[in-house]
Amino acid sequence: MDTAFAQRMNAMKPSSIREMLKMTERPDVISFAGGLPAPELFPVENIRAAAERVLGECGARAFQYGVSEGIAPLREQIAAEMSCRRVACAADDILITTGSQQALDLLGKVFIDACDVILTETPTYMAAIQAFQCFQADFRPVATDELGVIPEAVDELAAEGRARFLYVIPNFQNPTGRTLSLERRRQLAEIAAHRNLLIVEDDPYGRLRYRGEHLPPIKSFDESGRVIYLSTFSKTVAPGFRTGWIVASGPMRDKLVIAKQAADLHTSSFDQLVLDRYLRDFDNRQHVERVCAAYGERYAVMDEALRRHMPEGFSWTRPEGGMFLWVSGPPTMNAMAVLAEALAAGVAFVPGADFFPRGGGENHMRLNFSNAGSEVIRDGIARLAAICARVAGN
Amino acid sequence: MDTAFAQRMNAMKPSSIREMLKMTERPDVISFAGGLPAPELFPVENIRAAAERVLGECGARAFQYGVSEGIAPLREQIAAEMSCRRVACAADDILITTGSQQALDLLGKVFIDACDVILTETPTYMAAIQAFQCFQADFRPVATDELGVIPEAVDELAAEGRARFLYVIPNFQNPTGRTLSLERRRQLAEIAAHRNLLIVEDDPYGRLRYRGEHLPPIKSFDESGRVIYLSTFSKTVAPGFRTGWIVASGPMRDKLVIAKQAADLHTSSFDQLVLDRYLRDFDNRQHVERVCAAYGERYAVMDEALRRHMPEGFSWTRPEGGMFLWVSGPPTMNAMAVLAEALAAGVAFVPGADFFPRGGGENHMRLNFSNAGSEVIRDGIARLAAICARVAGN
C-alpha cells in the first residue's frame, strides 16, 4: 500500500454522525445527535397520493433509465423555487443530485486535487469535511464570529491565490445554527468576483426559518458566476428520497453533469417523479410553515430547558431557524467525556471536535432539536445538564 | 488552473452513451445504442402493488434517513440470492449502492490514486472507464479473446506488482457479449490469491442467460477474499430505482461503506423498501425468465438480420445472454463515419472506440438488442447494413 492510499484510508474515518445514528436506533436513547427531521411531520398522505398518481399515470417510464441532469419538470419547478429565493436561473442551470451529500462529492471530484486548499467556516459541517477529505483536500479554517464567516479573513486567504473554493452554510449553519449577515453575503460575492474565488453556498436549512425575515443567498449577489448554490428536499419534504440540487451554469455545470454521470448515472427516476408530482399537486409552502412552527417550538423548549438546567460557564447559540444549536462549555471541558456519560444516561449528541477539520473544539456540543418532542427535550436536557455540571466541575 | 486539475477535466468527457441517450429520445430513431432494458417487460403492476403496500405499511419510515449499508431485509434477500449464485456471504457482506455505477465510483474512491494501474479487458465497459478516469487511473488493457480475458496475460501484468485491480465483466460482457470460461474463472481466482491481486467482478447481466448453463462467478472460487463482486437490480427488475450492490468483507467492506457515506449517505429509503417488498411478494425468477425469453428472441432476430444484410468482411459475436452484440468491420472501417450516416438514416449505435481506454477499436460497433421489438430490429439492421456496405466499400 503506497502512502497516498494509506493516507486516504486514514482520512476516511466513519463520521461520528453516521455511527451515532446506529446507536440512536436504540429506542431508549434520547437523541440530540444526527440531523434527523421529525418524521411525524412528513407529508406522508400527500406523498402517498402523489406516488399513486405516478404509479397510475407514468407506467414503465417511472422505472426506466433517465438523463443525468434529472427530469425536466422537476428542474423547472426548482428553477421557479430559486427565483422565490431571489436567484434568477433556468431549468438548464439545475442539476438534480442524490441528496445534497452527492453535491459535495461531485464538487470534490470536479474541483479538488490532492493538497488543494479549501476554505471553511470554523466549525463547519462534518459530512462536507468527509466528502472533501476523500479527495485529500487541505482545509484552511477561516475566522468566524456570531455573524458567520468574516469576509476580511476570507479576502486575506483568497489573496494568496491558492484556495480552490470557500465552503459556507449561510443559513442556520451546521453545527452552530448561526446565520451569515446580509452585508457579509454581499461582501463575499464581491470577494468572489474580485479575487476570482469560487464560493460553494450550501443551503439545506434556509427555508426552515421560524423567526425574522429570509435573507437573500450569496448567489443572488453573484454577477460573476463564481457562486455554486446547493439545496435539497431533505428538510422541506423528506430525506429518504435522496433528492437535492446544484445551481451552476456554463462549463462548471457541464463538468458537474459529467461527474454525476460517473457517480451514479442519475438519481432515482421514481423518486424524482413522485417529488415532482407532490410539488405540483400540493402546497409544500404550507407544509414547510407547519414544520417551522413545530421546530420553532422545539427550539424554544430546548433553549428554556438549557437556561433552567445548564451550569455556570456554558453558553449556546440562538438560531432563528434550522435544526441545531451549539453549546460551548468551559475551555477545559471535554465533550467526548461528557458524551460517554451522557450515553450511559440515555442521551446522545455530537461532540464539537468533529466539526473542526484541523483539530480543536473539544469543549463544544451540537444539539439537534428537530427530532424529539417537547417532553423528551426537557428530560434529555435535564439529564445532559446534570452530567455537564459533574464533568465540567471536575 | 493547475495541470492535474486540467488533466482531470480533460479526462471527464461526457460518455457517448449518455449523450446518445438524449438523441435517442427522438421517437423516430431506431436505437441500438444505450443499454436500455425493454420497458414493456418491467413488472409494473407488481412494483405498483409493492409500492402501495410500502406506502400503506411503512408510513414515515419510508421517507426518513437510513443507514449507509442499506436496509437490512433487502441485504438479507441479496445474500440469499448470492448463495443461489454459489457465493456464500452474509447480509453484513452486502453494501447497497445507488446503481452499479456507484459501486464503480466507490471502488475508484477507495482504491485508485492518480496514476495507479487498473487492468481491464479489451474492450471494456465505457462507464467503468469514465468512473475510474475521475481518479486518474492508468489503464492497462489485457489481451482478451473469445473466451474472455486471458489469464496468462493477467498473471504477467500482475507479476509486475503495480496493478491496483483487474476489472472484469465475466457474463455477456459489455460491449462484446462474450462470457469468461469456467476454467478461466478458476484461474483468475488463483492468480488473485497468488499475486495478491484484487479482482473487481462486475456482473450486471449474469441472470440474463437465454442459452446454456449459468457459470459460477469468479467470487465463488475466491478463498483469499480478493474478489469484490458487483451486481444490480437494473436488468432483473428495473433501472429507475438505481439500486445495486457490492459483495465484500472485512476492512475492504468497511472502507467502501465510508466512501458510500461520503458519496450520498445512503440509497433512497423508499426505493429500497419497494424493491424489498416486491422481491418478497412476487416471484422475480419467473419475471427474469420472461425477460430472457424476449431478449433471446430479439437476439436471434438481430443475428438473423445481420446474416441476411451485412456485407462481406463483417463479423459479430454470438452472446448466450445479456443485451449486446459486437460487430467488427474491415480494419479500414471507421465506425464514427458509419454512425454519422446511420443517424441521418434514423439508426443509432455506439462506436467501438469508446470502449478502448487507450485508443483503437475504430472498426467496431456495439449493438443493443434488448430495447427494440423484432420488426424494428429487422428494419434498423437493414438500414445499418446498407450504410456499412457503402462506407466500408469506400
Q: Does the structure show a pLDDT above 50 at A263? A: yes
Q: Does the structure show a pLDDT above 60 at B9? A: no
Dist. CA A383–CA B11, nearest whole Å: 55
Residue B63 contacts A where some CB pair is shorter than 8 Å: yes
Residue A271: all three cell numbers together: 423518486
Distances (CA, A) of A332 to A336, A384, A391, A394, B121: 12, 17, 10, 10, 58
pLDDT in tens, B19-65: 655 666 677 899 999 889 999 999 999 999 999 999 999 999 999 99
- Whether B128 and B187 map to the same domain: the answer is yes
- Inter-chain contact B13–A258, Cβ cutoff 8 Å? yes
Of A379-383, B127-131, B183-187, where does mean pLDDT reach its minimum? B127-131
Q: What DSSP string runs through B267-317? A: S-HHHHHHHHHHHHHS-HHHHHHHHHHHHHHHHHHHHHHHHHHPPTT-EE-
What confidence score (pLDDT) does residue A142 get?
A: 96
- Whether B386 and B348 map to the same domain: the answer is yes
- The contacts of residue A27 (CB under 8 Å, 6+ apart) are none
Interface of B with A in 165-224 (CB under 8 A): none
What ipTM does the predicted assembly reach?
0.93
Chain B CA closest to residue A69? B18
Contacts of A101 in chain B (CB under 8 A): 262-265
Residue A107 contacts B where some CB pair is shorter than 8 Å: no
- Return the percentage of chain B with pLDDT > 90, whole number: 87
Chain B CA closest to residue A52? B52
- Whether B234 and B369 map to the same domain: the answer is no
- Whether A154 and A114 map to the same domain: the answer is yes
Q: What is the distance in angstroms between the Cα of B313 and the nearest Cα belonging to chain A?
A: 35
- Whether B146 and B71 map to the same domain: the answer is yes
Let me know: does B263 contact B253? Beta carbons within 8 Å.
no
Radius of gyration of chain B from its Cα atoms, rounded to whole angstroms: 21
Distances (CA, A) of A124 to A76, A142, B101, B307, B362: 31, 10, 30, 63, 49
Residue B239 contacts A where some CB pair is shorter than 8 Å: yes
pLDDT in tens, B126-167: 999 999 998 989 999 999 999 999 999 999 999 999 999 999
- Whether A147 and A195 map to the same domain: the answer is yes
Mean of per-residue pLDDT scores for chain B = 93
Nearest residue to A201 via CA among A213, A211, A216:
A216
Mean of per-residue pLDDT scores for chain A = 93
- Whether B262 and B302 map to the same domain: the answer is no
Which of B221, B253, B281 is where one domain is finished?
B281
- Return the percentage of chain A with pLDDT > 70, whole number: 93
Facing residue for A264 by CB, picked from B102, B238, B254: B102
Phi, then psi, of B232 in degrees rounded to 5: -160, 155
- Inter-chain contact B266–A242, Cβ cutoff 8 Å? yes
pLDDT band at B12 (very low <50, low <70, confident <90, very high): low
Residue B154: all three cell numbers together: 493477467
Facing residue for A263 by CB, picked from B9, B102, B241: B102
- Whether B73 and B106 map to the same domain: the answer is yes
pLDDT band at B18 (very low <50, low <70, confident <90, very high): low
Of A125-134, B196-205, B239-248, where does mean pLDDT reach its minimum? A125-134
- The contacts of residue B390 (CB under 8 Å, 6+ apart) are B341
Q: Output DSSP code: residue A209.
A: B
Chain A CA closest to residue B64? A240
Facing residue for B261 by CB, picked from A14, A263, A270: A14
Chain A CA closest to residue B237? A63
- Inter-chain contact A101–B42, Cβ cutoff 8 Å? no
Nearest residue to A97 via CA among A222, A181, A204:
A204
- Whether A215 and A336 map to the same domain: the answer is no
3-class secondary structure, A9: helix
Facing residue for B42 by CB, picked from A47, A63, A114: A63
- Whether B167 and B222 map to the same domain: the answer is yes
Facing residue for B268 by CB, picked from A66, A67, A241: A241
Q: Residue B25 sits in a domain of what CATH number?
A: 3.90.1150.10
Chain B CA closest to residue A50? B55
Let me know: does B86 contact B185? Beta carbons within 8 Å.
no
Nearest residue to A101 via CA among A326, A275, A271, A263:
A263
Residue B77 contacts A where some CB pair is shorter than 8 Å: no
Which of B281, B298, B330 is where one domain is finished?
B281
User: Based on the structure, what is the number of domains in chain A?
Assistant: 2
- Whether A176 and A107 map to the same domain: the answer is yes
Q: Does the structure show a pLDDT above 90 at A252? A: yes
pLDDT in tens, A210-251: 999 999 999 999 999 999 999 999 999 999 999 999 999 999
Cβ-Cβ contacts under 8 Å between A and B: the total is 222
Q: What is the distance in angstroms between the Cα of B390 and the nearest Cα belonging to chain A?
A: 33
Q: Residue B252 sits in a domain of what CATH number?
A: 3.40.640.10
Chain A CA closest to residue B238? A63
A193: left (phi over 0), alpha (psi -120 to 50) or beta: alpha
A349-A354-A355-A361 Cα dihedral, nearest 10 degrees: 90
Tell me how many degrees the CA angle B103-A72-B277 measures, rounded to the nearest 5: 50
pLDDT in tens, A303-348: 999 999 999 999 999 999 999 999 999 999 999 999 989 998 999 9
pLDDT band at B3 (very low <50, low <70, confident <90, very high): very low
- Whether A18 and A67 map to the same domain: the answer is no
Nearest residue to A374 via CA among A294, A309, A291, A288:
A294
Which of A231, A266, A281 is where one domain is finished?
A281
Let me know: does B209 contact B179? Beta carbons within 8 Å.
no
Across the range B107-115, mean pLDDT stands at 93
Domain region containing B101: 45-281
Element spanning B4, H or E: helix B3-11
Contacts of A48 in chain B (CB under 8 A): 55-56
What confidence score (pLDDT) does residue B16 get?
A: 57
Residue B266 contacts A where some CB pair is shorter than 8 Å: yes
